[in-house]
Amino acid sequence: MSQLIGTGHTRRRGLLQATAAIGGLQLASPFIIKARGETPVKIGFIDPITGSLSALAVTEVESAKWTVEQMNKNGGILGRPVELLIEDSANDTGTGVQKAHKLIERDNVDMILGDVNSGIAYAIMGVTAEKRVFHIVPGGHTDPITGKDCKWNTFRTCNTTAMDAAAMTKTLVSKFGKKWFFVTPDYAYGQTLQANFVRNLEALGGTWQGDMLPIANSDFSATLIKAKGYKPDVLLNLMGGSAQINCMKQFIQFGLNKQMALGGALYEIESVRSVPKEAQSGWFAMEWYWNQPSVPAVKKFVDAISPVLGGKMPTARHWMAYVSLHAARLAAEKAKSLDAVKMAHALEDLELPPEVSLMPGKVRYRAGDHQLMSDIYVGEMHPPGPGGADDLFTIGQTVTGEDAAGPAEATGCKIAWPA
Amino acid sequence: MNENFLSRHRQLLIVWALLLTVPFWLPMLGGYTALAGRVVVFALAAMSFNLLLGFTGIMSFGHAAYFGLGAYGCGLFMKFVTASTLLGVLAGTLVGGIAGTLFGLLLVRRRGVYFAMVTIAFGQVCFYIAYKWDEFTGGYDGLRGFARAPIDFGIFKLDIAASNNAFYYFVVAIFGLAVGLQALILKSPFGRTMLAIRENERRARFLGIPIEKHIWLAFSISCFFTALAGSLYALLNNFADPLGLNYIMSGNIVMITVMGGMRTFWGPLVGAVLFVALQDYVSSMTTNWMFFVGLTFVAVVLFFPRGLMGMLQKRAGT
């Protein structure tokens, strides 16, 4: 049963009875929007709550639950209450696709959000496009989701690897120099990220070396010795999750922090929290950060959600789920409908108000590729500062999404609308 | 003898009556047709694997390789050659089956744990190829860019792309053909020889049976059927991903077979129902769903070592 965990049996029983009553009819006409009155707006949320990406997924889900709760206090979507149905994709594509079918065919959800794992997000896109269900990918980074494989019904909230690389390159070159060493996870995300960095670096006349390592690598000694020999200006740690943490720890143990600077694309707060103080350093891009004194809406958001998180500060993953859900609400309200085509048209180029975007710039899902043009914060990691345990990052520069992403035509996306 | 035949017949009738009426009763139980498609695909994979484990007595821990190769074979063929569903299924079956047949040549002299370990190794080789060969297989993100297409039979068109029920019946029809063929193989003299090898390999050898050749053939047949299941899995998801080649998938196939009952023909189908239903329902209620799947597996192994189907048959027999 899909459900908000904990409200089990009543919903199931109700559903069983309803399904039994109209079972045959349902089969004959599998997907017809019925008059719904005050029935809730159902949002399906698929994320890898178990498996190696679970830390990030749990954060997104935590924020999604809170956001829906708040939304319901403020009138829901189109005046109707919102019901969130969470499903675990278990970091497995087949399971993710199965859950998408389950949410669409059985639970008749109005829209789908997910997944952190780009591969699963892709696969779910196939299902949602086929079934014509509005879909937002809050946190799967691989480029083709809003590039050559983009779909009319899919929008993405987190950045592309190309955006992160573009935002970081100039800063790293101007601060440290043009001789780089990459430590990169060997799969699509890492490969495209490194390729984007290399292209930008070579355009500026830089040189580089690097190692491609397995996604869950734990021993970095050979690579780090190689890096020591190469004497780069900066080492880019592009690994993710626990591999990134291990690489950081070994970087410190080898004493390399005294010989070269540290940088990369993403170093998410979830990871920074779990490394030793010395490894809380380097220059990275943050997709959202809780401490933005120039944006009053951010403080309001942080003050509201922080007590629910046990006093911790929200991370970029909290923001991704929050923005995605509110974007869906705004799209439905502008379209005055839950029809996927109308909602998708409505969301294109819709400028998100600051209390939704929580950013200083003009933030919108651009029409050309359905990618969110969010601001990117380039800055420095540091051990906890005076602002508390989560005061780990200082924003050096804010790059606008448009500057980082380049023109939509260059992404290879051609949106084909259904007839 | 006669009674035995009758009870078998009854079993067959029950299984097919249930399978063919899925779209009518499953939604009433809170299910959905795509779930049933998944059950049938996993059942076919496990039944094909069971030809080896249950009926020849050989343990392979790498059947995900042929399952995944079937999926990739089907997907790549439909993406790069032609978008015909039936030809895609054929291509997937051939890719996985031929790979298994060739690899079987290296395997047949190994027994027991060595056999299992070499099959794992081959499975992981396939996994890493699919994982690393980004331009061709889509790497870690998986292979996309193909979708099941309606099948034109001349007199009528089966729209398996738009209708879930049509696709389900398409899968069930192929499943029926495949398991029918498996039953015929098991009934043939060759099938009897497989049982003889399972029961006592040395005795079979002394009877003059070329053991290696038979095991090789059984392995090859099993791989062809597993690859067929894999290509159906690709169509079910419109996607193929490297995790389908991973040893975890091999483990799932073994688990389904053992839970259902490896000495019975329909056991793996029962196992697939249990496994997929547990995964689907429990995972929505708790994030610790794997614990319950594992617990069920342990309980089945401890209390019904012949699996659920084996237990049912035993009870019916006494």
Q: Check CB contact under 8 Å for A130 and B238.
A: yes
With 80 as the cut, is the pLDDT of residue A314 above it?
yes
Q: Are residues A394 and A255 in the same domain?
A: yes
For position B26, what pLDDT does the model report? 81
Indicate whether A254 belongs to any domain: yes
Name which of A95, A141, A191, A239 to mutate to probe chain B: the one with the most chain B Cβ atoms within 10 A of its Cβ.
Answer: A95
Residue A379's DSSP bridge partners are: A284, A395
Q: Are residues A52 and A142 in the same domain?
A: yes
Indicate whether A17 belongs to any domain: no
Shortest CA distance from A85: residue in chain B? B284
Q: Are residues A96 and A149 in the same domain?
A: yes
- Residue A27 — pLDDT band, cuts 50, 70, 90? very low
Indicate whether A313 belongs to any domain: yes
- Residue A10 — pLDDT band, cuts 50, 70, 90? low
Q: How many angstroms separate the CA atoms of A279 and A276, rounded?
A: 6
Q: Are residues A344 and A370 in the same domain?
A: yes
In chain B (318 residues long), the average pLDDT of successive 10-residue segments reads 64 84 82 87 94 87 91 92 88 93 87 85 89 81 81 76 83 93 91 88 87 90 94 89 85 90 88 88 79 87 83 70
Structure token digits, residue A88: 């675990």
Q: Are residues A342 and A361 in the same domain?
A: yes
Indicate whether A391 belongs to any domain: yes
Cis peptide before A115 (omega within 30 of 0): yes
**Residue A386 structural domain:** 163-286+376-405
Task: Check which CATH number belongs to the domain holding A213 and give it.
Answer: 3.40.50.2300
Lowest model confidence (mean pLDDT) among A64-73, A347-356, B18-27, B182-191: B18-27
Indicate whether A277 belongs to any domain: yes
With 50 as the cut, is the pLDDT of residue A1 above it?
no
Q: How many angstroms from the chain centroid is the CA of residue A283?
A: 20
Looking up tokens 């029950």 gives B14
Indicate whether A23 belongs to any domain: no
Describe the crossing of helices B85-107 and B64-76 by its angle, rounded to 10 degrees: 140
Q: Check CB contact under 8 Å for B30 and A15.
A: yes
- Please check whether residue B39 is in contact with residue B272, taking contact to mean a CB–CB distance below 8 angstroms: yes
What is the 8-class DSSP label of residue A361? S
Q: Check CB contact under 8 Å for A98 and B24.
A: no
Which whole-number Å values give the CA distances from A311 to A75, A94, A387, A388, A390, in the listed order?
A: 27, 37, 13, 10, 10
Comparing CB atoms, the residue among A24, A93, A105 nearest residue B241 is: A93
Indicate whether A22 belongs to any domain: no
Q: Coil, strand or helix: which one is A50?
A: coil
Mean pLDDT, chain A, whole residue set: 86
Residue spans of the domains in chain B: they are: 31-317
- Please check whether residue B68 is in contact with residue B245, taking contact to mean a CB–CB distance below 8 angstroms: yes
Bridge-based pairing of strands A179-185 and A207-213 is parallel
Nearest-CA neighbor of A46 among A105, A79, A10, A92?
A92
pTM over 0.90: no
Q: Are residues A369 and A380 in the same domain?
A: no
Q: Check CB contact under 8 Å for A3 and B284.
A: yes
Q: How many angstroms separate the CA atoms of B12 and B14, rounded?
A: 6
With 60 as the cut, is the pLDDT of residue A8 above it?
no
For position A34, what pLDDT does the model report? 41
Q: Are residues A58 and A198 in the same domain?
A: no
With 60 as the cut, is the pLDDT of residue A331 above it?
yes
Q: Are residues A308 and A216 in the same domain?
A: no
Q: Are residues A325 and A365 in the same domain?
A: yes
Give the best-scoring range by mean pLDDT among A92-96, A366-370, A387-391: A366-370
Number of domains in chain A: 2
**Chain B residues in contact with chain A using a Cβ-Cβ cutoff of 8 Å:** 23-24, 27-35, 38, 131-132, 134, 138-142, 144-145, 147, 161, 163-165, 233, 236-239, 241, 243-244, 279-281, 283-287, 289-290
Top-level class of domain B31-317: mainly alpha
With 80 as the cut, is the pLDDT of residue A4 above it?
no
Indicate whether A344 belongs to any domain: yes
Name which of A65, A86, A105 to mutate to probe chain B: the one with the most chain B Cβ atoms within 10 A of its Cβ.
Answer: A105
ipTM for the predicted complex comes to: 0.79
